A and B are shown apart, each in its own frame.
Chain A
């Protein structure tokens, strides 16, 4: 399986930006973060001691609709929890995140938004890191589909996702918390637990003790884990940013 492709700080005028492409599902996201900025209308915010996280999702070809509102709400609640909104300079201000879906299949009205959610989450996280927004932890997310025969498929394509019996999105934090879970379809709790285990192994790179080594090899080659991938992406960016210093040494 081809791993995801990501790069940081592509846009000049935003405080931070990131692009993320997942070849398996075909989605490509461009994210930009401006933080901390003054929100003129939010002087009397609900929580004045914290920063307000605002998320906007723009689909590639149409205007944003109800599905985008829904996914914005999810992203806001996930990111609002991990952004340290009480750091100096952040209270009463806003962290504004804009995510543009620049590639991949359009999510039609009434379609499940789960297929694109991991890509949006990753792009959001990388853009936040690029903008140096203080975060309490990082996370990585994965999409898993359960087929009719009961197999768990990682990152199913949009057509495979439509045929799947159930779809699951998990976001596992760097501290091994379950940050987000969205599941839909028809399934039982035992299936859910299997899927969860698989998600943890994908995100954390903790290889489950399996009798044959094939599965562990398949997921362990390209980048050990999705959390590792996020770390590598940021490390690469830091290396290139500080190249002038490294040359001195």
Chain B
């Protein structure tokens, strides 16, 4: 008797696979089985990681984590963790080759701006200075052993490079940092301004203003380094949130031009240091990478009219690997009104206007949530 039951027991488990093995062998089918459970089983449609389709992972942020930077933050979105450090360095206007040309052109802008509306063209000039002089230098590193696919110490992968570019272009288009915060001014004293110039200064001051008009002596350059220390999908969201948190944390020391030494001096008193004045709280990459899963094998089913695509918010690494189409929305709120800063959508054709409108709405909700998280940190 015992001999006949013994072989039966091992055979029954061998016919069914544990979920973890099924997920590895048939990832598409595994995800689909969760998203569209058989109608008989009465289970709700849920993602393999237990979240609802438009549910984000638990997000936490901690500012001021690194002591040797001007500002830093650690942001975790689920298992994705990003560390961002902001380091400020001084760029002398003497070291800028095209400075006199730039200044001359900005003088003209100032003349015009008095006629047209100061704030707008000031805005333009801000953008010009930050962009032309490369005052913001973000870099994102994935070669930290954050995921099995990225070997530590390897040259930056295509993904890391394109994320760096996205961070930079988003910093530029949102105008998050004002150029005015990055300028170091010098107010020449009225009395001896003439002889002071002739003493050996005249090189970079070729716009001859005899009056004590204050001039820019240097700029702060912000090196914004993001390290993704753990990657489980959605790196852009985590990176951008960490950049935001770090910039909000950044304190620049009080700096001034010392005419006697002809250098910039900085105060080491923390009380003198100042934070940025942001024009607005630029929202986070609220919707982040929302993936659209369209399983390859299911294209015939799609025609039957059944819902064969799901828009998943904040995908983890597993879901990201299975989806082809990505849509990302960055929003900001101005007086309660949602303003879209960036939309990115490629890799398929399932998402159209209606879906995007929904994404923008979800992003607006996420904006409130992220603002609360960043305010607390």
Contact = CB atoms under 8 A, between A and B. Distances in A.
Contact of B161 (A66, A184, A185): A66
Interface string A221-249: 00000000000000000000000000000
Interface string A80-114: 11000000000000000000000000001111110
Interface stretch (B50-58, B245-253, B312-320, B338-346): B338-346
B191 interface: no
A178 B349 contact: yes
B240 to A, nearest CB: 14
B353 A81 contact: no
Contacts of A78: 346-347
B161 A183 contact: no
A187 B340 contact: yes
Contact of B165 (A67, A77, A177, A196): A67
Contact of A181 (B166, B172, B344): B344
A173 B349 contact: yes
A35 to B, nearest CB: 20
What 5 A-B pairs come out closest when comparing CB atoms?
A177-B349, A69-B161, A70-B162, A77-B347, A70-B165
Contact of A73 (B162, B169, B342): B162
A178 B347 CA distance: 10
Nearest to B166: A70
B341 A186 contact: yes
A188 B165 contact: no
Contacts, number: 107
A135 interface: no
A189 to B, nearest CB: 5
Contact of B339 (A80, A113, A148, A187): A187
Contact of B169 (A180, A184, A188, A193): A184
Contacts of A189: 338, 340, 356-357, 360
A74 interface: yes
Q: Which of B161, B168, B351 has the most CB of A within 10 A?
A: B161
Contacts of A181: 343-346, 356
B214 to A, nearest CB: 28
B199 interface: no
A77 B324 contact: yes
Nearest to A176: B349
Given A186-B339, A186-B341, A188-B339, A66 B164 contact: yes
Contacts of A69: 158, 161-162, 165
B263 interface: no
A65 B169 CA distance: 14
Contacts of B347: 77-78, 80-81
A152 interface: no
B269 interface: no
A185 B159 CA distance: 23
Contact of A185 (B325, B341, B344, B348): B341
Interface in B340-377: 340-349, 351-353, 356-357, 360
A116 B159 CA distance: 20
Contacts of B169: 110-113, 184
B131 interface: yes
B302 interface: no
Interface string B322-338: 00111000001000011
A216 to B, nearest CB: 22
Contacts of B349: 81, 173, 177-179
B131 A110 contact: yes
A155 interface: no
Contacts of B161: 65-66, 69-70
Interface string A157-197: 00000010000000001000111111111111100110010
Contacts of A173: 349
B351 A192 contact: no
A97 B344 CA distance: 23
Given A66-B162, A73-B158, A110-B134, A192 B339 contact: no
Contacts of B338: 188-189
Nearest to A168: B343
A180 B348 CA distance: 8
Interface in A1-40: none
Given A181-B356, A185-B341, 10 more contacts: A66-B164, A77-B324, A80-B347, A110-B136, A110-B168, A181-B346, A182-B343, A183-B340, A186-B332, A188-B339
Contacts of B120: 148
Given A181-B343, A188-B339, A81 B131 contact: no
Given A66-B164, A73-B158, A185 B345 contact: no
B156 to A, nearest CB: 9
B173 interface: yes
Contacts of B348: 81, 179
8 contacts: A66-B168, A73-B158, A74-B346, A77-B324, A112-B172, A113-B165, A177-B352, A184-B173
A167 to B, nearest CB: 9
B165 A192 contact: no
Interface in B150-177: 158-159, 161-162, 164-166, 168-170, 172-173
Contacts of A77: 324, 326, 346-347
A113 B165 CA distance: 10
A51 B337 CA distance: 45
A225 B338 CA distance: 33
B324 A81 contact: yes
A180 B162 contact: no
A196 B357 CA distance: 13
B353 A184 contact: no
Contacts of B356: 181, 189, 192
A110 B173 contact: no
